Structure 1
Amino acid sequence: AEELCRELKEEGCQARFTELDVRDPAAAAEVFRDLDETAQPLDILVNNAAVDVSKPIEHLSADEVTRVIGTNLLGPMYLCLEAYRRMVGRGHGHIVNILSTAANRTWTEAGPYAAGKSGLRAFTHTLFKEAQRDCLGVGVTGIIAGGMETPFVLDRFPDADTSTLQSPDIVADTVLYALSVPTGSVIPELVVVPRCESSWP
């Protein structure tokens, strides 16, 4: 994030970064209070933090489950709470939650991860419906992403066949597409997977 901010500033953009443990609701609230003081409100929130522990359920510890659910479900929810009320107050904004094919189906050794992502998908659907009621200027989108060629996958599965994975740039482009839809329309959910995705449909 720091390097990206530096590159943006070199191009004449305004940018800032902060470190945040998304599992801490007080820390999430503090970040938004800091933004309020800068008079530079957040127009777009993209929740993409995620962790996983690939173990059979019988070998999982409570701490491991708490870490995965805290990061993948509760963390994005805390950030949505802070961003959504501010966006409604201003009358515009967009929230994008990065989901996973695990939000729709699961596989062995993915219990907490699938639970977190499916929970976030349900929360995203609820937030979409409430935005329809509260403020039509606020968009909510869930991106169901398949396997990506990132450290998230490759650090855990170094022997993974990268030909079955997609570039994270493709997912980023999908987010930009969802954000580009003209006012009056919104994309509530998009699926983007590699052509060889094994966990879809």
Structure 2
Amino acid sequence: MGDAAQADLRGKRALVTGAARGLGASIARRLAGAGAAVLVADVRADLAQGLCDELTGQGHDARFVEMDVRDPAAVAAVFTDLEEAGRPVDILVNNAAVDVSKPIEHLTADEVTRVVTTNLLGPMYLCLETYRRMIARGGGHIVNILSTAANRTWTEAGPYAAGKSGLRAFTHTLFQEAQRDCVGIGVTGIIAGGMATPFILERFPDADLSMLQSPDIVADTVLYALSVPAGSVIGELVVVPRREPSWP
């Protein structure tokens, strides 16, 4: 997408979950490059602070926010603190996700809970806190990172597919409510295919890199969704590697 994404985000504040590395870090870099002040939200403090140091060293406004998206009270506290500090969130990117690649026969209840809570309930908690505040201010944009697993699953992907399918349905509902409640709010789901990130490569070290795409391409897609003029909104985008077999 590259030069096609020309979003001017100066004066905007963006919060990206799971931003310490991989796709989240790519998104944070793209948003900062477009002029946004970036809140790098993650549980991995060292990696997240390293990214913030990188971005501030380049002249960008970047701050680390420690956040476990699975904890609704902690999520609410972050947004309350930001509001009280006069730093409301204009752009939310729900990117944090985990997976456990096991046959259903061997999954534990704790593993299922961790995946579904992180991938579905966590983004919902953040949307609840963000959307009501965007309604009050009359504008903003929420981007939920989905997956091809939201449309078509495969073996060893039960909890992950369930979470992403649920998040896609929630995103569609939020889109419809924003169209009704406040035309200044954009809601976009990004269905991303396989990427060359630690999320895949740590679990599948022998993965064929020619079948994966760069996370920077997906980050450009996020930026493109944010670049659409106010009279329009992109509800959903799909970006997959050319050779990916999991879509549609």
Q: Same fold (TM over 0.5)?
A: yes
1:2 alignment counterpart = 49
1:180 alignment counterpart = 227
Identity over the aligned pairs, expressed in percent? 82
SS in 2 for 1:16: strand
1:162 alignment counterpart = 209
1:15-30 map, 5 Å: 15-30=62-77
SS in 1 for 2:65: coil
In structure 2, distance between residues paired with 1:195 and 1:63: 35
SS in 1 for 2:232: coil
Q: Does 1:143 align with 2:190?
A: yes
TM-score normalized with structure 1 length: 0.98
2:87 alignment counterpart = 40
1:73 alignment counterpart = 120
The Cα shift of 1:19 comes to: 1.3
Higher strand share: 2
In structure 2, distance between residues paired with 1:149 and 1:15: 24
Aligned length: 201
1:152 alignment counterpart = 199
The Cα shift of 1:194 comes to: 0.2
The Cα shift of 1:37 comes to: 1.5
1:189 alignment counterpart = 236
In structure 2, distance between residues paired with 1:14 and 1:165: 31
- 1:118-139 CA-to-partner distances (Å, cap 9, x unmatched) read 0000000000001011110000
The Cα shift of 1:98 comes to: 0.2
2:137 alignment counterpart = 90
The Cα shift of 1:16 comes to: 1.4
Per mean C-alpha deviation after superposition, the further-off stretch among 10-19 and 117-126 is: 10-19
In structure 1, distance between residues paired with 2:49 and 2:139: 27
Q: Structure 1: any 5+ residue segments left out of the alignment?
A: none
In structure 2, distance between residues paired with 1:130 and 1:63: 33
Q: Which runs of 4+ in 1 moved over 3 A?
A: none
SS in 2 for 1:107: coil
SS in 2 for 1:190: strand
Q: Does 1:49 align with 2:49?
A: no
Q: Structure 2: any 5+ residue segments left out of the alignment?
A: 1-47
2:155 alignment counterpart = 108
1:58 alignment counterpart = 105
The Cα shift of 1:157 comes to: 0.5
Q: Alpha carbon RMSD of aligned pairs, Å?
A: 0.9
Amino acid at match of 1:158: P
Per mean C-alpha deviation after superposition, the further-off stretch among 185-194 and 35-44 is: 35-44
The Cα shift of 1:40 comes to: 1.3
SS in 2 for 1:18: strand
SS in 1 for 2:191: strand
TM-score normalized with structure 2 length: 0.79
1:130 alignment counterpart = 177
- 1:153-190 CA-to-partner distances (Å, cap 9, x unmatched) read 00000110010000000000000000000001000000
Per mean C-alpha deviation after superposition, the further-off stretch among 182-191 and 8-17 is: 8-17
Amino acid at match of 1:27: A
The Cα shift of 1:3 comes to: 2.2
